[in-house]
C-alpha cells in the first residue's frame, strides 16, 4: 500500500528516445506530472501482474490521454488475463480517442525492438505474472582509427561500412575486413525487472549477468514466514538472487509500508554490497560498461532538484 513518502509500483525506463513504463499503479500519471519527466505520450506499457497496486493507474492514464485528444495508438502488454481485466475497467474510462491495443504474452515470449529485445520470464507470485528483461544487441567493437589509417582506408563511407560490419575493397584491390579495424564486440546492456515474486531459480537464470536487477524486497528477513506465505521475498533473499545471478547492481523496490528503506538496504548489502533502495523520483543511470557502472542519481527525476540545480548556478 502507498505511504506518504512512497507511491505504489511504476518504473519508467528511458533508452534513447524510447520510454517504456513497467507497471502503472494508482497515481502514476500524477507522479509523472510531478516529476521532471512529465506525463509523456507513452507508446508502450508493460504489466508484470494484475494486483491492484500495479495496475490501478491505467484507467485514469488512459482517460487523461483521451482528454488530451491523443490519436497515437497505445499498446499494453501483460500476462494472461490482461484483456479480461482491462475490459472490466473500460466502462469507467468510457470512449477513447485512440486505439488501445492489449497484448497478452506468455513467459518466454520475446518482443523485438530497434537495438534491443524485451524477453519475458515466469516469476513466482502465485498468480499470472511475468518478469521483463531488456537485453541490448551486442555492439560492434571500438573503431581503431590508427589501424584504418595504416591499412589506407580513406576517411569516408568506407569507414562507416566497416563499422556496420561490411567488407570494403580498396582502390588497390585489397579487401579490409571489419575485424581488421574494430576491437572486440562490446556487450549491450541488460536490465531485468521481476515485479513481485518469491525467490526462484528462473529469476537467477533470467537475471544472469544483468547490469541491473530491479526486484522486490517487500519484507526484511524478520518477516521471512510472511514473505513465503504471500509469494514475496525478503531483502536477504533478493540479495542472494542477485549474488547467484552475478548482476552489477541490485535495485530493491516494493517495500512493505513498515519499512523506510535504509534497513532493507543494510540487510541486503550484508550479502550483496552493490544494492540500492531508490526513493520516488530517483533515477538509476546505466551507462555502457566502458563508461562506468550503474549508479543512483538521488531525486534525478524530481522537479525540485532541477530547481535547486538552477538556483545554485552562479548569479
For residue 268, the Cα-to-chain-centroid distance in whole angstroms is: 21
Instruction: Indicate whether 29 belongs to the interface with a second copy (CB under 8 A).
Output: yes
Q: Alpha-carbon distance 81 to 153, whole Å?
A: 56
Q: φ, ψ for residue 125 (rounded to 5)?
A: -120, 10
Judged by CB under 8 A, which stretch of 62-70, 116-124, 204-212, 266-274 contacts a second copy?
Answer: 62-70
Is there binding between residue 64 and a second copy (CB under 8 A)?
yes
In the list 14, 43, 71, 94, the residue contacting a second copy (rule: CB under 8 A) is 94
Q: Among all chains, which residue has been given the C-alpha cell 506518504?
A: 4
18, 53, 109, 280: which one is catalytic? 53
215 contact partners, CB below 8 Å, separation of at least 6: 192, 193, 194, 197, 203, 207, 233, 238, 241, 242, 250, 251, 252, 253
User: Which among 11-19, 21-29, 139-147, 190-198 is the span making contact with a second copy, rule CB under 8 A?
Assistant: 21-29
Of 14, 41, 43, 52, the one binding a second copy by CB under 8 A: 52
Nearer to a second copy, 89 or 111 (CB): 89
Report d(CA 253, CA 22) in Å as an integer.
13
| Residue 232 Cβ vs a second copy, minimum distance, rounded to whole Å | 13
- Give the separation between CA 20 and CA 22, rounded to whole angstroms: 6
Residue 195 as a binder of a second copy (CB under 8 A): the answer is: no
Tell me how far the alpha carbon of residue 28 is from its chain's centroid.
16
**Residue 96, C-beta contacts closer than 8 angstroms, at least 6 positions apart:** 62, 63, 65, 66, 70
Q: What cell was used for 264?
A: 532493507
Question: At 23, which helix (H) or strand (E)?
Answer: strand 18-24
Rg of the chain over all Cα atoms, to the nearest angstrom: 22
47 near a second copy, judged by CB under 8 A: no
Which lies closer to a second copy via its Cβ, residue 55 or residue 213?
55
211 part of the active site: no
Least separation in angstroms between residue 60's CB and a second copy is: 4
| 74 contacts a second copy (rule: CB under 8 A) | no
Is residue 79 at the binding interface for a second copy, with CB under 8 A as the rule?
A: no
**Active-site positions?**
53
Binding site for a second copy (CB under 8 A): 1-4, 7-8, 25-27, 29-30, 33-34, 50-53, 55-57, 59-60, 63-64, 67-68, 85, 88-89, 91-94, 303
Amino acid at each position: 500500500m502507498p505511504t506518504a513518502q512512497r507511491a505504489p509500483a511504476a518504473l519508467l525506463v528511458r533508452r534513447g528516445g524510447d520510454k517504456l513504463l513497467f507497471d502503472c499503479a494508482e497515481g502514476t500519471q500524477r507522479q509523472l506530472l510531478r516529476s521532471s519527466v512529465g506525463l509523456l505520450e507513452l507508446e508502450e506499457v508493460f504489466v508484470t501482474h494484475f494486483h491492484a497496486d500495479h495496475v490501478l493507474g491505467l484507467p485514469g492514464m488512459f482517460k487523461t490521454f483521451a482528454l488530451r485528444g491523443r490519436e497515437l495508438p497505445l499498446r499494453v502488454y501483460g500476462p494472461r488475463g490482461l484483456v479480461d481485466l482491462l475490459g472490466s475497467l473500460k466502462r469507467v474510462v468510457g470512449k477513447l480517442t485512440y486505439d488501445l491495443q492489449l497484448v497478452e504474452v506468455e513467459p518466454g515470449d520475446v518482443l523485438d525492438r530497434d537495438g534491443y529485445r524485451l524477453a519475458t520470464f515466469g516469476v513466482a507470485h502465485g498468480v499470472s505474472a511475468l518478469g521483463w528483461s531488456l537485453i541490448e544487441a551486442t555492439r560492434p567493437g571500438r573503431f581503431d582509427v590508427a589501424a584504418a589509417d595504416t591499412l589506407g582506408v580513406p576517411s569516408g563511407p568506407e569507414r562507416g561500412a566497416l563499422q556496420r560490419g561490411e567488407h570494403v575493397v580498396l582502390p588497390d584491390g585489397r579487401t579490409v575486413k571489419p575485424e581488421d579495424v574494430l576491437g572486440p564486440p562490446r556487450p549491450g546492456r541488460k536490465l531485468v525487472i521481476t515485479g513481485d515474486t518469491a525467490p526462484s531459480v528462473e529469476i537467477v537464470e533470467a537475471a544472469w549477468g544483468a547490469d541491473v536487477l530491479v526486484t522486490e524486497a517487500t519484507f526484511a528477513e524478520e518477516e521471512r514466514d510472511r514473505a513465503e506465505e504471500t509469494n514475496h521475498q525478503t531483502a536477504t533473499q533478493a540479495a542472494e538472487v542477485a549474488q547467484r545471478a552475478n548482476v552489477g547492481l541490485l535495485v530493491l523496490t516494493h517495500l512493505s509500508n513498515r519499512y523506510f528503506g535504509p534497513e532493507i538496504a543494510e540487510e541486503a548489502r550484508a550479502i550483496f554490497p552493490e544494492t540500492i533502495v531508490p526513493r520516488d523520483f530517483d533515477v538509476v543511470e546505466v551507462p555502457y560498461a566502458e563508461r562506468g557502472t550503474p549508479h543512483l542519481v538521488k531525486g534525478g527525476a524530481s522537479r525540485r532538484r532541477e530547481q535547486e540545480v538552477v538556483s545554485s548556478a552562479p548569479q
